């Protein structure tokens, strides 16, 4: 294709991600939107209409006075596709702004998962599951003679790892919130 | 007294239907296109007592939408359409999608079943905002009559600013009846929608730097310049004249630079000029102004203008780097960016680029005469028909609309435009049936102009019913059908791609167009002999009323030159089809 350009080269007035490579990257995007009817459908519809991928999505009103919601979307694509997703989202009328949390130094991501594990009283698995949950700082939400429910928060990879460890011990069911995001420090 | 009147003027209590009509008047709307039905009756009732709003009653809601597009494209003002719920709204979907693709400012008002019936599968209910969400720039379902005035004014703001597009307002019938507060359009603002339009200085400087050092530059212009207004076209002409750079345009941008201008290369793209496509391929600096690197323009992406630095001016940030990577993006209104480039070019004294080699090369391409065709004595060639139409109408106040297909491309190639807003065609969506209703919209805005829909015999039948509208409202449009008894572009592709198996592309059982025109109350003309053509066209122009002109042309003419799908700009085919132009990978492209 055309010649590659260095990111935000001096001759460019805008920051442009360098997308000379076709590698697929995973990105967390946060969209601040007007909380009006249909806004989520607009965002989700854009992803399906243009063939973009949604790995997880969370949404809730975060400013009741301004009626603004925060939609955090985990998506994947080439860097060029990610830039395009961002631009397409910003083109929607009720979208105030879109932040790339993954590339932002101030970006923070957290996810919460509820994980049910079978563990009969007195079994080695039960002891091991308890021990691992302490390492992962998981809380025990519910306990029966046959099972635990753990609540664990953290980055997605930490949760993936915990689930992986629970698998051989008797993983029954998983429920995850999807990624939430926020930025450190004071808003610019 | 004065202050009281002022208060009364800015805050009035009225019904939702009255709010709609009042907002239209306050927005400067003089014409709307529509079709009544149960869910918009209150608005039609309010229109009954508002004679200053010209309402053009169409015969099918699709016609209302395309007419509003034609009105908008020819005036630079937003087009307005009014239709009922359910089928009225679904029939509007095609024009809405069409306006979205071509960035046409349009406000569509749809009736909806009463609020308490929404979601119950009521009579003539459909989820209009759901259906139009993905094909409109924005849409609203009005839930409170007190929001209605704000929504009306916001809709006009959104439709006309930034990258223009269609906005849909869905109004339940109970909202139209209930009383609420009206506020005027003054100070209308959207709380989150603030499109940027001023060019960034650093971008302009970077662009100028590339332009000053260019040896093989080209301006690649598009519909964004027309949307920006006539001043943008004027600034473009000055910029071209001062730089002496060659200029091409997309289908949507025809007219922003005069076809008679010495730097004009003709249209770019699949059926564009040989010299324009070659220049795009070989240039070293491409200045894209208000165009979007559409696939009909670029051809094979990885072979698109491989050695050029690209400057891209677009008001829509999502157009930047969407398909083609550019070096200098400038997010701005095309007109403002052109003015900034012009100022910068004038400000800094520098030796004028030596473009003599480049122009020599371009003139060699020009000498190939890519639009040439074999003349015939016995039969009318479609290109010849357009040529004669152009010659006999070019000195008049003429507006051209088209349907979609071969005739559209021949019109773009052989009809030449000197001014913007004179050419209305469905570029992005490629909607057959666009041209006739669009011509109505143009004629409604320009009562004394000569408005011609260049059509094919297949396309014209998609919105044929609107001839009745033309007769009712004394809109003397001229429909010039290039009748080759084929869906010509389909036939051409079947010849190229599908081993000459002409599956369902023959226009069988055609109506007698002359008799049809008469049946509608218009005037019909048929012409089959090249010797009679001029007189017949003169007769069409002279007739005071709608004319259906059935121009019988050679049946198997192909539209050349052509960049076969999957090929690069410098692989244009000029004439005969041999059958091996398109490889397997190209065949799956459209």
Structure tokens of B74?
């020819």
Domain boundary among B137, B153, B183: B183
Does a structural domain hold residue B450? Answer: yes
Tell me what pLDDT residue A70 has: 97
B243 with B353: CB under 8 angstroms? yes
Does a structural domain hold residue B574? Answer: no
Q: Which residues of B touch A1 (CB under 8 A)?
A: 301-302, 304, 324-325
Does a structural domain hold residue B554? Answer: yes
- Residue of B145, B153, B142 lying closest to B180 (CA atoms): B145
Which residues does residue A63 pair with via DSSP β-bridges, in sequence order? A68
Tell me what pLDDT residue B577 has: 65
CATH number at residue B399: 3.40.50.970
What digits encode the pLDDT tens for the residues A84-122?
999 999 999 999 999 999 999 999 999 999 999 998 999
Does a structural domain hold residue B472? Answer: yes
Domain boundary among B344, B367, B390: B367
B481 with B461: CB under 8 angstroms? no
Question: Domain check: are B69 and B110 in the same one?
Answer: yes
Question: Domain check: are B245 and B135 in the same one?
Answer: no
Does a structural domain hold residue B189? Answer: no
Contact B134 A37 (CB under 8 A): no
Q: Does A135 touch chain B (CB under 8 A)?
A: no
Min Cα separation A142/chain B (Å): 40
Q: Which residues of A touch B193 (CB under 8 A)?
A: 93-94
Structure tokens of B565?
């799908």
Domain that holds residue B342: 201-367
β pairing state of B450-456 and B478-483? parallel
Could you list the active site residues of B? Answer: 61, 123-124, 173, 489
A147 with A121: CB under 8 angstroms? no
3-class DSSP state for residue A94? coil
Nearest chain B residue (CA) to A39: B133
Q: Which helix (H) or strand (E) holds A34?
A: strand A25-34
B247 with B260: CB under 8 angstroms? no
Percent helix, strand, coil in chain B (nearest 5)? 45, 20, 40
The C-alpha atoms of residue B60 and residue B496 are separated, in whole angstroms, by 35
Q: Please list the ranges in chain A whose pLDDT falls under 50.
A: 1-15, 19
Non-local (6+) Cβ contacts of B518 within 8 A are: B524
Question: Domain check: are B303 and B330 in the same one?
Answer: yes
CA distances from B494 to A150, B258, B491 (A): 63, 35, 5
Question: Domain check: are B249 and B123 in the same one?
Answer: no
Sheet strands (E) in A93-138 = 95-100, 107-118
The C-alpha atoms of residue B453 and residue B478 are separated, in whole angstroms, by 6
Q: Which residues of B touch A38 (CB under 8 A)?
A: 129-130, 133, 139, 141
Does a structural domain hold residue B575? Answer: no
The angle subtended at Cα B350 by Cα B349 and Cα B356, nearest 5°, is 140
The C-alpha atoms of residue B335 and residue B224 are separated, in whole angstroms, by 8
Minimum-distance CB partner of A84 among B137, B309, B322: B322
Nearest chain B residue (CA) to A14: B329
Q: Which residues of B touch A42 (CB under 8 A)?
A: 133
Structure tokens of B381?
């060639």
Question: Domain check: are B403 and B271 in the same one?
Answer: no
Question: How many domains does chain B fold into?
Answer: 3
B224 with B334: CB under 8 angstroms? yes
The C-alpha atoms of residue B402 and residue B412 are separated, in whole angstroms, by 9
The C-alpha atoms of residue B572 and residue B495 are separated, in whole angstroms, by 17
Domain boundary among B320, B341, B367: B367
Question: Domain check: are B129 and B276 in the same one?
Answer: no
- Residue of B479, B490, B494 lying closest to B442 (CA atoms): B479
Q: Does A80 touch chain B (CB under 8 A)?
A: yes
B175 with B205: CB under 8 angstroms? no
Min Cα separation A72/chain B (Å): 18
Interface test with A, best of B212, B320, B321 (most A CBs within 10 A): B321
B550 with B483: CB under 8 angstroms? yes
- Residue of A69, A7, A8 lying closest to A36 (CA atoms): A69
Question: Domain check: are B49 and B16 in the same one?
Answer: yes
3-class DSSP state for residue A42? helix
Does a structural domain hold residue B192? Answer: no
Question: Domain check: are B311 and B436 in the same one?
Answer: no
The C-alpha atoms of residue A28 and residue A111 are separated, in whole angstroms, by 12
B464 with B439: CB under 8 angstroms? no
Tell me what pLDDT residue B151 has: 98
Contact A41 B133 (CB under 8 A): yes
Q: Does B306 touch chain A (CB under 8 A)?
A: yes
Question: Domain check: are B178 and B208 in the same one?
Answer: no
Does a structural domain hold residue B188? Answer: no
The C-alpha atoms of residue B170 and residue B143 are separated, in whole angstroms, by 9
Q: Mind listing the pLDDT tens digit of every residue in chain B (590 residues)? A: 444 444 455 579 999 999 999 999 999 999 999 999 999 999 999 999 999 999 999 999 999 999 999 999 999 999 999 999 999 999 999 999 999 999 999 999 999 999 999 999 999 999 999 999 999 999 999 999 999 999 999 999 999 999 999 999 999 999 999 999 999 999 999 999 999 999 999 999 999 999 999 999 999 999 999 999 999 999 999 999 999 999 999 999 999 999 999 999 999 999 999 999 999 999 999 999 999 999 999 999 999 999 999 999 999 999 999 999 999 999 999 999 999 999 999 998 777 889 999 999 999 999 999 999 998 999 999 999 999 999 999 999 999 999 999 999 999 999 999 999 999 999 999 999 999 999 999 999 999 999 999 999 999 999 999 999 999 999 999 999 999 999 999 999 999 889 999 999 999 999 999 999 999 999 999 999 999 999 999 999 999 999 999 999 999 999 999 998 888 998 998 877 666 777 777 777 77
Query: Mind listing the domains of chain A with CATH numbers?
Result: 25-104 (3.30.70.260), 108-183 (3.30.70.1150)
Tell me what pLDDT residue B9 has: 53
Contact A87 B318 (CB under 8 A): yes
Q: How many CB pairs under 8 A join A and B?
A: 96
Q: Does B324 touch chain A (CB under 8 A)?
A: yes
Question: Domain check: are B417 and B290 in the same one?
Answer: no
Question: Domain check: are B436 and B527 in the same one?
Answer: yes
Helices (H), B348-434: 356-367, 382-393, 406-414
The C-alpha atoms of residue B458 and residue B479 are separated, in whole angstroms, by 13
Burial class (CB in 10 A: 0-12, 13-18, 19+), B422: buried
The C-alpha atoms of residue A6 and residue B325 are separated, in whole angstroms, by 12
Question: Domain check: are B223 and B353 in the same one?
Answer: yes
Angle between helices B382-393 and B406-414 (to 10 degrees): 50
CATH number at residue B358: 3.40.50.1220
The secondary structure of A134-184 as a DSSP string is: HHTTPEEEEE-SSEEEEEEEE-HHHHHHHHHHHHHHHEEEEEE---EEEES
The C-alpha atoms of residue B491 and residue B507 are separated, in whole angstroms, by 11
């Amino acid at each position: 294709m055309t010649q590659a350009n260095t990111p935000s080269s001096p001759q460019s007035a805008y920051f442009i991600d360098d997308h000379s490579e076709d590698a697929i990257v995973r990105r967390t995007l946060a969209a601040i939107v007007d909380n009006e009817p249909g806004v989520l459908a607009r965002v989700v519809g854009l992803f399906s209409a243009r063939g973009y991928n949604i790995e997880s999505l969370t949404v809730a009103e975060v400013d009741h006075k301004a009626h603004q919601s925060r939609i955090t979307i985990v998506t994947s694509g080439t860097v060029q596709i990610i830039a395009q997703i961002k631009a397409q989202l910003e083109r929607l009328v009720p979208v105030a702004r879109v932040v790339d949390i993954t590339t932002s130094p101030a970006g923070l991501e957290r996810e919460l998962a509820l994980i049910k594990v079978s563990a009969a009283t007195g079994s080695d698995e039960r002891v091991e599951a308890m021990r691992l949950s302490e390492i992962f700082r998981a809380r025990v939400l519910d306990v029966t003679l046959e099972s635990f429910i753990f609540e664990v928060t953290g980055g997605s990879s930490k949760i993936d790892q915990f689930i992986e460890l629970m698998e051989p011990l008797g993983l029954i069911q998983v429920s995850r919130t999807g990624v939430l995001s926020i930025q450190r420090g004071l808003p610019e | 007294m004065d202050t009281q009147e002022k208060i009364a003027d800015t805050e009035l209590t009225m019904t939702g239907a009255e709010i709609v009509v009042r907002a239209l008047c306050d927005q400067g709307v003089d014409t709307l296109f529509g079709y009544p039905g149960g869910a918009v009756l209150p608005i039609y009732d309010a229109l009954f007592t508002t004679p200053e709003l010209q309402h053009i009653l169409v015969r099918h809601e699709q016609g209302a939408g395309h007419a509003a597009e034609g009105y908008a494209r020819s005036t630079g003002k937003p087009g307005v359409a009014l239709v009922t719920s359910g089928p009225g709204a679904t029939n509007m979907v095609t024009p809405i999608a069409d306006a979205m693709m071509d960035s046409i400012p349009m406000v569509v008002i749809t009736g909806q079943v009463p609020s308490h019936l929404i979601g119950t599968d009521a009579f003539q209910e459909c989820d209009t905002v759901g259906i139009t969400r993905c094909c409109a720039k924005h849409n609203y379902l009005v839930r409170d009559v007190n929001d209605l005035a704000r929504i009306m004014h916001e809709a006009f703001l959104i439709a006309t600013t930034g990258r223009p597009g269609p906005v849909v307002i869905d109004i339940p019938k109970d909202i139209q009846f209930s009383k609420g507060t009206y506020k005027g359009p003054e100070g209308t603002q959207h709380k989150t929608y603030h499109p940027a339009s001023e060019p960034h200085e650093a971008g302009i400087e970077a662009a100028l730097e590339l332009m000053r050092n260019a040896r093989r530059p080209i301006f690649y212009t598009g519909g964004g310049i027309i949307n920006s207004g006539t001043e943008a076209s004027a600034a473009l002409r000055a910029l071209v004249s001062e730089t002496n750079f060659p200029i091409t345009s997309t289908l949507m941008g025809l007219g922003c630079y005069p076809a008679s201008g010495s730097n004009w290369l003709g249209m770019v793209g699949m059926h564009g000029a040989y010299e324009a496509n070659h220049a795009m391929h070989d240039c070293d600096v491409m200045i894209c102004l208000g165009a979007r690197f559409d696939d009909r323009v670029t051809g094979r992406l990885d072979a698109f203008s491989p050695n050029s630095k690209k400057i891209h001016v677009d008001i829509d940030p999502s157009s930047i780097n969407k398909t083609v990577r550019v070096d200098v993006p400038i997010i701005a209104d095309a007109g403002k960016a052109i003015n900034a480039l012009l100022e910068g070019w004038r400000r800094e004294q520098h030796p004028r680029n030596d473009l003599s080699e480049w122009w020599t090369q371009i003139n060699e391409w020009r000498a190939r005469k890519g639009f040439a065709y074999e003349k015939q004595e016995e039969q009318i060639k479609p290109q010849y028909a357009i040529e004669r139409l152009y010659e006999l109408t070019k000195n008049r106040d003429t507006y051209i609309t088209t349907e979609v297909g071969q005739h559209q491309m021949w019109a773009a190639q052989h009809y030449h435009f000197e001014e913007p807003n004179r050419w209305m065609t469905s570029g992005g969506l490629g909607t057959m049936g666009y041209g006739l209703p669009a011509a109505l919209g143009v004629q409604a805005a320009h009562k004394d102009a000569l408005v011609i829909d260049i059509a094919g015999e297949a396309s014209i039948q998609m919105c044929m019913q609107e001839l009745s509208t033309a007769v009712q409202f004394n809109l003397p449009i001229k429909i010039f059908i290039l009748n080759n008894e084929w869906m010509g572009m389909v036939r051409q592709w079947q010849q190229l791609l599908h081993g000459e198996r002409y599956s369902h592309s023959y226009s069988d059982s055609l109506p007698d167009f002359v008799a049809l025109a008469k049946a509608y109350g218009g005037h019909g003309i048929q012409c089959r002999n090249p010797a009679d053509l001029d007189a017949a066209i003169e007769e069409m122009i002279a007739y005071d009323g709608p004319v259906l002109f059935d121009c019988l042309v050679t049946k198997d003419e192909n539209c050349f030159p052509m960049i076969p799908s999957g090929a690069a700009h410098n692989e244009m085919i000029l004439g005969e089809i041999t059958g091996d132009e398109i490889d397997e990978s190209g065949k799956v492209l459209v």
